Amino acid sequence: MEQDMRLPGAELDVMAALWATGGAATAAALHAALLDGKGWGMTTVLNFLARLSARGFVSVEKVGRKNEYRALVSREDYTAQAVSALIDRLYGGSMAALVSVLHARGVIADADLARLGGAGGGEGGEEIPHWLL
Protein backbone atom coordinates (compact mmCIF):
# COMPACT_ATOMS: atom_id res chain seq x y z
CA MET A 1 0.00 0.00 0.00
CA GLU A 2 1.59 3.19 -1.20
CA GLN A 3 -0.79 5.68 0.39
CA ASP A 4 -0.30 7.22 3.81
CA MET A 5 -2.34 4.86 5.95
CA ARG A 6 -2.42 6.98 9.09
CA LEU A 7 -5.85 8.34 9.88
CA PRO A 8 -6.77 11.04 12.37
CA GLY A 9 -9.05 9.80 15.15
CA ALA A 10 -12.30 11.13 13.70
CA GLU A 11 -11.69 9.62 10.26
CA LEU A 12 -10.72 6.35 11.90
CA ASP A 13 -14.03 6.44 13.80
CA VAL A 14 -15.90 6.76 10.48
CA MET A 15 -13.88 3.89 9.00
CA ALA A 16 -14.63 1.76 12.10
CA ALA A 17 -18.35 2.42 11.62
CA LEU A 18 -18.04 1.49 7.94
CA TRP A 19 -16.12 -1.70 8.72
CA ALA A 20 -18.77 -2.60 11.32
CA THR A 21 -21.43 -2.52 8.58
CA GLY A 22 -19.54 -5.11 6.58
CA GLY A 23 -17.74 -2.56 4.45
CA ALA A 24 -20.56 -0.73 2.64
CA ALA A 25 -23.15 1.77 3.85
CA THR A 26 -24.95 4.98 3.03
CA ALA A 27 -24.04 8.24 4.71
CA ALA A 28 -27.36 8.12 6.57
CA ALA A 29 -26.54 4.69 8.02
CA LEU A 30 -23.08 5.85 9.07
CA HIS A 31 -24.51 9.02 10.56
CA ALA A 32 -26.98 6.97 12.61
CA ALA A 33 -24.20 4.64 13.77
CA LEU A 34 -22.01 7.57 14.85
CA LEU A 35 -24.74 9.80 16.28
CA ASP A 36 -24.91 8.28 19.76
CA GLY A 37 -21.19 8.18 20.45
CA LYS A 38 -20.09 11.29 18.58
CA GLY A 39 -23.11 13.51 18.13
CA TRP A 40 -21.89 14.60 14.71
CA GLY A 41 -24.26 16.15 12.20
CA MET A 42 -24.78 14.70 8.73
CA THR A 43 -22.59 17.42 7.17
CA THR A 44 -19.68 16.43 9.41
CA VAL A 45 -20.03 12.76 8.45
CA LEU A 46 -20.21 13.71 4.75
CA ASN A 47 -17.05 15.84 5.11
CA PHE A 48 -15.17 12.92 6.68
CA LEU A 49 -16.41 10.58 3.93
CA ALA A 50 -15.23 13.06 1.26
CA ARG A 51 -11.77 13.17 2.89
CA LEU A 52 -11.63 9.38 3.11
CA SER A 53 -12.63 9.11 -0.54
CA ALA A 54 -9.97 11.64 -1.61
CA ARG A 55 -7.34 9.64 0.29
CA GLY A 56 -8.38 6.34 -1.29
CA PHE A 57 -9.89 4.73 1.80
CA VAL A 58 -13.47 4.61 0.48
CA SER A 59 -15.20 4.59 -2.86
CA VAL A 60 -18.51 6.28 -3.61
CA GLU A 61 -21.14 4.74 -5.87
CA LYS A 62 -24.56 6.11 -6.73
CA VAL A 63 -27.23 3.54 -5.83
CA GLY A 64 -30.63 4.86 -6.76
CA ARG A 65 -30.81 8.34 -5.30
CA LYS A 66 -28.24 7.73 -2.56
CA ASN A 67 -24.49 7.37 -2.42
CA GLU A 68 -23.10 4.14 -1.07
CA TYR A 69 -19.66 4.22 0.51
CA ARG A 70 -17.42 1.15 0.38
CA ALA A 71 -14.25 0.53 2.33
CA LEU A 72 -11.29 0.11 -0.02
CA VAL A 73 -8.95 -0.67 2.87
CA SER A 74 -9.84 -3.54 5.19
CA ARG A 75 -9.62 -3.25 8.96
CA GLU A 76 -6.98 -5.98 8.91
CA ASP A 77 -4.79 -4.17 6.35
CA TYR A 78 -5.15 -0.88 8.20
CA THR A 79 -4.26 -2.30 11.61
CA ALA A 80 -1.36 -4.35 10.25
CA GLN A 81 0.14 -1.26 8.60
CA ALA A 82 -0.48 0.91 11.68
CA VAL A 83 1.21 -1.59 14.01
CA SER A 84 4.10 -2.04 11.59
CA ALA A 85 4.59 1.74 11.36
CA LEU A 86 4.49 2.03 15.16
CA ILE A 87 7.12 -0.70 15.57
CA ASP A 88 9.31 0.94 12.92
CA ARG A 89 8.97 4.40 14.49
CA LEU A 90 9.32 3.50 18.16
CA TYR A 91 11.34 0.28 18.18
CA GLY A 92 13.49 0.52 15.06
CA GLY A 93 11.49 -2.24 13.39
CA SER A 94 12.21 -4.77 16.16
CA MET A 95 9.17 -6.77 17.19
CA ALA A 96 11.34 -8.32 19.90
CA ALA A 97 11.91 -4.90 21.44
CA LEU A 98 8.17 -4.21 21.48
CA VAL A 99 7.37 -7.58 23.04
CA SER A 100 10.12 -7.12 25.62
CA VAL A 101 8.72 -3.73 26.64
CA LEU A 102 5.18 -5.08 26.89
CA HIS A 103 6.42 -8.02 28.96
CA ALA A 104 8.44 -5.76 31.26
CA ARG A 105 5.35 -3.59 31.83
CA GLY A 106 3.18 -6.63 32.61
CA VAL A 107 1.03 -6.28 29.50
CA ILE A 108 2.25 -9.66 28.23
CA ALA A 109 2.22 -12.42 30.84
CA ASP A 110 5.07 -14.93 31.19
CA ALA A 111 2.83 -17.70 29.83
CA ASP A 112 1.99 -15.63 26.75
CA LEU A 113 5.64 -14.82 26.19
CA ALA A 114 6.52 -18.51 26.40
CA ARG A 115 3.84 -19.25 23.79
CA LEU A 116 5.44 -16.65 21.54
CA GLY A 117 8.62 -18.67 21.61
CA GLY A 118 11.01 -17.09 24.07
CA ALA A 119 11.57 -15.37 27.34
CA GLY A 120 13.06 -11.89 27.54
CA GLY A 121 15.80 -10.52 25.35
CA GLY A 122 15.45 -9.68 21.73
CA GLU A 123 15.86 -11.31 18.38
CA GLY A 124 18.90 -13.52 18.27
CA GLY A 125 19.82 -12.54 21.82
CA GLU A 126 20.09 -8.81 21.07
CA GLU A 127 20.12 -6.59 24.10
CA ILE A 128 17.11 -4.28 24.44
CA PRO A 129 18.23 -0.70 25.25
CA HIS A 130 17.17 0.40 28.73
CA TRP A 131 15.42 3.52 27.35
CA LEU A 132 12.96 1.26 25.49
CA LEU A 133 11.94 -0.46 28.70
Q: Is the pLDDT of residue 129 over 60?
A: no
Question: Does the residue 59 lie in any domain?
Answer: yes
- Regarding predicted confidence, which is higher, 117 or 2? 117
Same domain, 37 and 65: yes
Q: Is the pLDDT of residue 133 over 60?
A: no
Of 79, 67, 64, the closest CA to residue 12 belongs to 79
At 51 the pLDDT is: 96
Same domain, 28 and 47: yes
CATH classification at residue 31 = 1.10.10.10
Model confidence at 100, pLDDT cuts 50, 70, 90, reads confident
Segment 19-68, tens digit of pLDDT:
999 989 999 999 999 988 899 999 999 999 999 999 999 999 999 999 99
Model confidence at 3, pLDDT cuts 50, 70, 90, reads low
Domain total in the chain: 2
> Considering 53, 71, 89, which residue would you say is the last residue of a domain?
71
Q: Is the pLDDT of residue 1 over 50?
A: no
Question: Does the residue 2 lie in any domain?
Answer: no
Same domain, 82 and 96: yes
Query: How far is it, in rounded angstroms, from Cα 71 to Cα 53?
Result: 9
| Domain coverage including residue 19 | 9-71
**Length of the chain in terms of residues written:** 133
Question: Does the residue 1 lie in any domain?
Answer: no
> Considering 23, 41, 71, which residue would you say is the last residue of a domain?
71
Query: How far is it, in rounded angstroms, from Cα 10 to Cα 115?
Result: 36
Same domain, 13 and 67: yes
Segment 72-94, tens digit of pLDDT:
999 999 999 998 998 999 999 98
H or E element: which one contains 101?
helix 95-104
Same domain, 67 and 97: no
> Considering 71, 98, 113, which residue would you say is the last residue of a domain?
71
Paired residues of 99 in beta bridges: none
Question: Does the residue 104 lie in any domain?
Answer: yes
Model confidence at 130, pLDDT cuts 50, 70, 90, reads low
Contact at 8 Å (CB) between 47 and 6? no
The pTM (predicted TM-score) of the whole model is 0.75
